Structure 1
Amino acid sequence: MLNVAPLEPLVEKRDLILVTGKGGTGKSTLVAALADLAGERRGGALAVEFSAHHRLRELVAPNGKVRVIGMDLDYALEPSLRRLVGVPMIVHAILRNRILRQFIRTSPAMREMIVLDELAAMVEENSARGIPVIVDMPSTGHALSFLDTPRAVQRMLRIGPVARNAERVQRLLLDTRRTEVVTITLPEELPVNETLDLMRKARQMGMAARLVVVNQVPAMLLHASDRPLLEILQRESEDALARLALAGQSQLDGMDHARKQIERLQRIYGYYQDYGEWEKIVDLFTDDDPSVEEADRGVYRGKESVRRYYVDLLGGGPGRRPRPGWLNIMLQLQGVITFESDGLTAHARWYGMGMEAKPIVSLHEGELRQTWIHGIYENSYVKEDGVWKLKKLHFNLNFRTPFEDGWLKVPVVGQHGPDMNIPPDEPPTAYFPYPSGYHVPFSFKHPVTGE
């Protein structure tokens, strides 16, 4: 998602915003986003594209605040000639002359100069009404030579109306209070190198090139160990790099907050389990294809099946409370949380360690027996509407043993496979309790080697 905060001063204060980047980086999408933002902040915007394949009309919001123009030589030639020549009869004569038109199209820098002259005229017209012009420029390789056209024209022509127009356009391009070059790139070596080269050359030309938008950034590139480096970058770097470091800090802060939310979710699950709050446990799960699997009871998939498992199977039916003496303390311990790159999905491994007083023969009938229980959770979580929820809960039982005997003598009591009356949707995926030596696969990578 695009963070618009660094872009707000840009669209609020600049008259001309020139957006460039390597092909395929999302340049047109960024132009549309900037134009829409300017429409909201300043009441309107003019979006200009040079590409022969016009896409901006499809990308901007259909609220009437953004006007889109496809700029090329045919569009710019007549109004530019009117400003240059000033005599309508001569302008019409040039436009009707096939040889002169071909000369304009093929002369070095002439075509680009006419287009830039018309662009500058649009900027002056719209800036008087407080509306910015946002341009979908040629790609990185051609943008600088295009913007350097007025300087090249001034070197060729020292005097005359063309030289004066070139000087006027050049003043606009080099006015860092009015004009800004914005570059969009991808987090890949070649686009980043091209972006750095473009920014360096633009600054050598005297243009303002202070803002870079990085598209398609995986949400979780950073680790807590990167904080010292980010603090140094934020403190000692130029504006663009400092803002990038600040964004990295914000990303880490977001990860810390997400981790705390997931830890809280899992701990609350443990407390609800302790007190038999089965309906509340069901509400901790997402509606989008959740699943639960504990020990050898099989997989219950879908929200209604999750409800069948907790409320009907474990709880004995809606509204039923645990019998006196019933105990189900399950500590949620030693969690290791791993985030997917989208920042909306996570996985975690936990120890479940508990003390029980439950019937052994069936879930709800018979004499209460005190037991120790231990296992490993491998769970998945999703973030929906800003709230983290359980997606998959899988408790791999290690042992459930009578308090008097211990796991060496009696590793497992009370497990009897899938329930016949409230059956699962799928058979157990894995059930190898102590002393099998089964190793539940890790959901995380080695923190040093990354393997």
Structure 2
Amino acid sequence: MASTGGPAAPRDPDWEGVRLHVVTGKGGTGKTTLAAALALALAAEGRRTLLIEVEGRQGIAELFGISALPYEERKIAGVTPAQLGLPGRAPGEVHALAIDTELALLEYLEMFYKLGRAGKALQKVGFVDFATTVAPGVRDVLLTGKACEAARRKGPDGRPLYDAVVMDAPPTGRITRFLNVNAEVAGLARIGPIHSQAQAVMRVLKAPETAVHFVTLLEEMPVQETVDGIAELREAKLPVGGVLVNMVRPPVLDAAAVAAVDGDHREEVALALAEAGLGGRARKPETVRAHIEPLLGPLLEQAREHSERVELERSQRADLQQLRLPTYELPLLGEGVDLGGLYRLAAELKRQGAA
């Protein structure tokens, strides 16, 4: 398991050859943040990545401090090797796209049925909203299809337009159904363009060029959802990627201190505080004790809480290790995640071999 130790040379990437990175995770784990950081890391060394949002929350725009993304691909960030602590001078680029379901369906209707203005008329009478509501599988075909098309699109020189595509996907509880679009539309269309599109999407999603990464925290519910989600993906024969453990806190107490917390150590702590000078200038033991006594309870309670947290994290790490997947740990950014924080997380992902 990778850790958040001090600076070190980046490892060779674990996902060489993967072009479509799907990022999922339980709500509140920082899924969008790490999808953005992964896109930045993948753009290092002169590469070009596309970051796709499918949930309509404009979370990418908020993270990068830009205006709401339209339904078109646009550059949102540059990445120099120096920003990620790498040698070299070739800058990379991150482009972004927020997929609008209605516009994606109109694009689809034009592509396969050449509806043109008729498609716009369908939008005005509410057909598009009706279609994606009564047939949610069609909506998912449109969303995943756009990402798959971008991953395989060629530029004028015949080379892939993007070196990697990162999809900020729906949460863990919905990810298998979202990606397993072929099964979702089977009952709606057994032949025709929708069926063909779903099959084309599934060929990309099940190919070695795709990996589904899970974002989690070292807490019971997110870890359990991760374990369950990975089991569902494996059952559906969809490609499982790595586990991104977010918001990892640095240890405050060493193992010996954690193990000693359960005992009654008031006298030892009081003596240590006195030796550290927290009794003020008083010389009489009873006066020193009077200064220190109010501190003992809160300090010991915090130590117990930290000990419980360390034990919980230890057990959750053990559960994640049972998955036998590449695992990366990202630090808790106490000041919050701004653009600088995103680059810091990207550098950590790069260092640990996630990109």
Task: Say yes or no: TM over 0.5.
Answer: yes
1:394 is aligned, of 244, 257, 276, to: 276
1:82 corresponding residue in structure 2: 110
2:229 corresponding residue in structure 1: 198
- Distance of aligned partners of 1:196 and 1:337 in 2 relative to their CA distance in 1, 3 Å threshold: closer
Q: 2: CA distance between counterparts of 1:222 and 1:378?
A: 16
1:68 corresponding residue in structure 2: 96
Q: 1: CA distance between counterparts of 2:11 and 2:103?
A: 33
2:141 corresponding residue in structure 1: 113
Q: 2: CA distance between counterparts of 1:41 and 1:222?
A: 38
- Distance of aligned partners of 1:30 and 1:429 in 2 relative to their CA distance in 1, 3 Å threshold: farther
Q: 1: CA distance between counterparts of 2:152 and 2:142?
A: 16
Tell me which structure has the larger Cα radius of gyration: 1
The yes-or-no answer on 1:104 pairing with 2:162 is no
Write out per-residue CA displacement over residues 222-255 of structure 1, whole angstroms, 9 at most, x where no aligned residue.
Answer: 976xxxxxxxxxxxxxxxxxxxxxxxxxxxxxxx
Task: Report 1:252-331 matches (<5 A).
Answer: none
2:60 is aligned, of 46, 51, 56, to: 56
Offset at 1:30?
0.2
Write out per-residue CA displacement over residues 318-370 of structure 1, whole angstroms, 9 at most, x where no aligned residue.
Answer: xxxxxxxxxxxxxxxxxx8779xxxxxxxxx99xxxxxxxxxxxxxxxxxxxx
The yes-or-no answer on 1:208 pairing with 2:239 is yes
Residue pair 2:105, 2:128 contacting (<8 A) in 1 also: no
2:190 is aligned, of 155, 158, 178, to: 158
Pairwise CA RMSD:
4.1
- Distance of aligned partners of 1:172 and 1:337 in 2 relative to their CA distance in 1, 3 Å threshold: same
Q: 2: CA distance between counterparts of 1:116 and 1:154?
A: 16
- Distance of aligned partners of 1:114 and 1:92 in 2 relative to their CA distance in 1, 3 Å threshold: farther
- Distance of aligned partners of 1:121 and 1:62 in 2 relative to their CA distance in 1, 3 Å threshold: closer
The yes-or-no answer on 1:428 pairing with 2:281 is yes
Q: 1: CA distance between counterparts of 2:12 and 2:219?
A: 22
Question: Of the two structures, which has the highest relative contact order with CA contacts closer than 8 Å and spacing of 6 or more?
Answer: 2
Q: 2: CA distance between counterparts of 1:42 and 1:2?
A: 25
Residue pair 2:77, 2:95 contacting (<8 A) in 1 also: no
2:26 corresponding residue in structure 1: 22
Higher strand share: 1
Residue pair 2:110, 2:119 contacting (<8 A) in 1 also: no
- The residue identity in structure 2 corresponding to 1:84 is F
Q: SS at 2:96's partner residue?
A: strand
Q: 2: CA distance between counterparts of 1:71 and 1:430?
A: 70
- The residue identity in structure 2 corresponding to 1:207 is L
TM-score (norm 1): 0.48
- Distance of aligned partners of 1:17 and 1:162 in 2 relative to their CA distance in 1, 3 Å threshold: same
The yes-or-no answer on 1:188 pairing with 2:219 is yes
Residue pair 2:19, 2:151 contacting (<8 A) in 1 also: yes
Unaligned runs of 5+ in 1: 225-335, 340-348, 351-375, 380-392, 397-425
Q: 2: CA distance between counterparts of 1:196 and 1:214?
A: 13
TM-score (norm 2): 0.60
Unaligned runs of 5+ in 2: 65-75, 80-92, 260-266, 309-355
Q: 1: CA distance between counterparts of 2:248 and 2:151?
A: 33
2:14 is aligned, of 9, 12, 32, to: 9
Q: 2: CA distance between counterparts of 1:110 and 1:218?
A: 41
Write out per-residue CA displacement over residues 297-319 of structure 1, whole angstroms, 9 at most, x where no aligned residue.
Answer: xxxxxxxxxxxxxxxxxxxxxxx
1:401 corresponding residue in structure 2: none
**Number of matched residues?**
257
Q: 2: CA distance between counterparts of 1:121 and 1:19?
A: 17
The yes-or-no answer on 1:94 pairing with 2:119 is yes
Residue pair 2:148, 2:204 contacting (<8 A) in 1 also: yes
Q: 2: CA distance between counterparts of 1:15 and 1:211?
A: 14
Q: SS at 1:9's partner residue?
A: coil
Q: 2: CA distance between counterparts of 1:101 and 1:28?
A: 27
